[in-house]
Amino acid sequence: MSEAEGEQARGPRSAVRHVVVAADQVGQRLDKLLGQLLPGVPRSRIFRLIRRGEVRVNGRRAGPELRLAAGDALRLPPVRDSLIAADAPPRMPKALMEAVERAIIHEDARLLVLDKPAGLAVHGGSGLSFGVIEALRASRPSETLELAHRLDRDTSGCLIVARRGSALRVLHALMRDGAVQKSYLTLLAGRWNLGHKRVDAPLRTDLRVGGERTVKVDARGKEARTEFKLIEHFGSAASLVEALLHTGRTHQIRVHAAHCGHPVLGDTKYGDPARNEEFAALGLKRMFLHAHTLGFAWPDGSEQSFSAPLPAELRALLDRLGTPRGARRARAAQGSS
């Protein structure tokens, strides 16, 4: 067998990937993060890739013990599909790929923008085989796709995926500089009487309750700022509010809303269980948090603005709350607790 035939027999290589370290990956060892980014590749192979200099961090060689910082640029070398075949995740469901493709609301040479459905994780992990990014990569195998940011699994709305390493680096720089405007719509428990309020409360994100990561307001935490603007009251039972993010901490809106005494309705982690149960009876089957708009400007000055409409099930709940009968049911639920 010739060398070329041997190469073919061992299977095709994956594409070179360029990844920028995100906030939730900061502090991880290089070898550990590579284990996540190259699922199924044996650790011995990962160490060999690092040792040979095929993995680069900010264009330079690095040791496996290197602790990564936000914005570090990683180059991941091609890896033969045959290396990971035995440990590869289950086959991607075609229905999931089609659903994610249908969720795309904008596409250009540099990025994709999706209206992510609630209940779909942005990436696999924590018991999930697949998320948005895995489905997109399966649907578009010739492209190099990376998440520019994240949304909680139960949050719907605008999500950006970079199609080029250069676009990813620019987007992360804009986010670090606070130059990306993110607006969310959320329904909060109770009557919001705080007006136009800016919450500046640091968040600590390394705490775990019952084995799950959780977040709380803590003076030792990282800077976090959220701006809340009232849109509409629904009696004393609930308030529709716009939340503007000035920082991008994990669970930021949810924790800040609860800190103000008005948790997000349907939030099973930081919310009020009694209120959630009452609104479930009114038809709320998910967390009422939606990434409504997102905007920024590329370095060349071209403005980008994207919007995802409120999902039908959330609009339907607001319609019910806005009717006399719905208002009476909401008041009755609020008064019974």
Catalytic residues: 152
For CA atoms 218, 224, 225, 229, give the dihedral sign.
negative
Query: Pick from 185, 292, 203, 296: which is nearest to 243 by CA?
Result: 185
Nearest-angstrom CA–CA distance, 64 and 54 = 12
Nearest-angstrom CA–CA distance, 57 and 75 = 7
Nearest-angstrom CA–CA distance, 204 and 294 = 25
Nearest-angstrom CA–CA distance, 1 and 310 = 59
- Please compute, for residue 112, the number of CA atoms within 13 A of its CA located in the half-sphere on the CB side: 20
Nearest-angstrom CA–CA distance, 136 and 156 = 17
Which residues, 6+ apart, have CB-to-CB distance to 56 below 8 Å? 62, 74, 75
Nearest-angstrom CA–CA distance, 162 and 170 = 10
Query: Pick from 8, 21, 152: which is nearest to 82 by CA?
Result: 8
Nearest-angstrom CA–CA distance, 101 and 121 = 15
Amino acid at 51: R
Query: Pick from 207, 36, 251, 61: which is nearest to 124 by CA?
Result: 36
Nearest-angstrom CA–CA distance, 297 and 292 = 18
Two tokens at 108? Answer: 């250009």
Expressed in percent and rounded to 5, the helix, strand and coil fractions of the chain are 30, 30, 40
Nearest-angstrom CA–CA distance, 132 and 190 = 33
Nearest-angstrom CA–CA distance, 37 and 29 = 12
